[in-house]
C-alpha cells in the first residue's frame, strides 16, 4: 500500500474528512481543526529564498497543523519552524501553526501520536462533546470532556477510547487513552 493511502486511511479512521489530495500532500479537517500532511521524497530538501513563498506553497494560511512525513522529518520540521519564526519577526505575520515530524519508517505509530497531539493542542477546534469529566488534579473542580472518540490503535493493537478533558479554571488539559 502506498504511503499516501496509509495516511488517508489513518486520518479517516480517526474521524477526519479528507478535503484535498495531491501527490505529495493531503488536507483534512476534524470539525474546525484543519491539518495538512506534507510527504517529502527522500532526495528532496526544501529551500525557500523568500519565506512567504513557503507559506504559499504549503498553504499555511488556513491550517492549524502541518505534518512533515519524511525519512528525516526532524531536520525539515525544524527548518519549517525556524522559517515560521522568521516570518513572524521579519514580516510581522503571525501563523498559529504547530509542526509535527512523522518518520516514514515508523509511519503508523508516529502518525497516531501526532494526531493525538494535534487533538490535544487544538481541543477547542476538534471538540465534538461537552460533558462532565473527572476531577481536576490541580484544583479539584470537575473537568469538561471536550473530545471523545474510539479508534483502533496500531501502537497498542487494540481498540482505544480517547478523551480530552479540560479544566477551564486552571487550564489543565488531560489526554486519556483507555485500552479496551
State pLDDT tens for residues 16-73. Answer: 999 999 999 999 999 999 999 999 988 788 889 899 999 999 999 999 999 999 999 9
C-alpha cell at 66: 502541518
Give me the count of residues in the chain. 180
Q: Can you tell me the distance from the alpha carbon of 59 to that of 87, in angstroms, rounded to the nearest whole number?
A: 14
Answer left, alpha or beta for residue 59, where phi above 0 means left and psi between -120 and 50 means alpha: left
Average pLDDT (131-150) is 94
Residue 46: its pLDDT value, please? Answer: 85
Residue 45: its pLDDT value, please? Answer: 83
Residue 92: its pLDDT value, please? Answer: 94
Residue whose entry in the numeric block shows the C-alpha cell 479512521:
13
Average pLDDT (118-126) is 96
Please state the pTM of the whole predicted model: 0.93
Q: Is 23 within 8 Å of 41 (Cβ atoms)?
A: no
pLDDT in tens, 73-114: 999 999 999 999 999 999 999 999 999 999 999 999 999 999
Percent of the chain with pLDDT over 90: 89
For the chain, the average pLDDT equals: 94
pLDDT in tens, 50-62: 999 999 999 999 9
Q: Can you tell me the distance from the alpha carbon of 142 to that of 148, in angstroms, rounded to the nearest whole number?
A: 17
Strand-by-strand arrangement of the 98-103 sheet:
17-21, 25-30, 33-39, 65-70, 98-103
Residue 169 has pLDDT above 90, yes or no: yes
Q: Is 55 within 8 Å of 61 (Cβ atoms)?
A: yes
Amino acid at each position: 500500500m502506498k504511503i499516501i493511502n496509509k495516511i488517508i486511511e489513518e486520518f479517516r479512521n480517526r474521524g477526519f474528512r479528507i478535503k484535498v489530495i495531491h501527490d505529495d500532500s493531503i488536507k483534512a479537517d476534524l470539525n474546525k481543526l484543519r491539518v495538512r500532511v506534507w510527504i517529502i521524497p527522500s532526495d528532496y530538501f526544501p529551500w525557500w529564498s523568500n519565506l512567504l513563498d513557503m507559506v504559499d506553497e504549503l498553504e499555511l494560511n488556513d491550517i492549524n497543523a502541518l505534518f512533515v512525513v519524511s525519512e528525516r522529518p526532524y531536520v525539515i520540521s525544524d527548518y519549517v519552524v525556524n522559517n515560521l519564526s522568521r516570518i513572524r519577526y521579519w514580516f510581522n505575520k503571525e501563523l498559529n501553526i504547530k509542526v509535527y515530524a512523522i518518520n516514514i519508517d515508523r509511519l503508523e505509530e508516529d502518525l497516531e501520536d501526532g494526531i493525538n497531539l494535534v487533538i490535544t493542542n487544538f481541543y477547542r477546534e476538534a471538540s465534538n462533546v461537552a460533558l462532565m469529566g473527572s476531577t481536576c488534579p490541580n484544583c479539584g473542580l470537575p473537568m469538561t470532556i471536550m473530545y471523545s472518540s474510539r479508534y483502533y490503535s496500531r501502537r497498542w493493537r487494540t481498540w482505544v477510547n480517547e478523551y480530552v478533558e479540560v479544566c477551564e479554571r486552571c487550564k489543565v488539559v488531560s489526554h486519556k487513552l483507555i485500552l479496551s
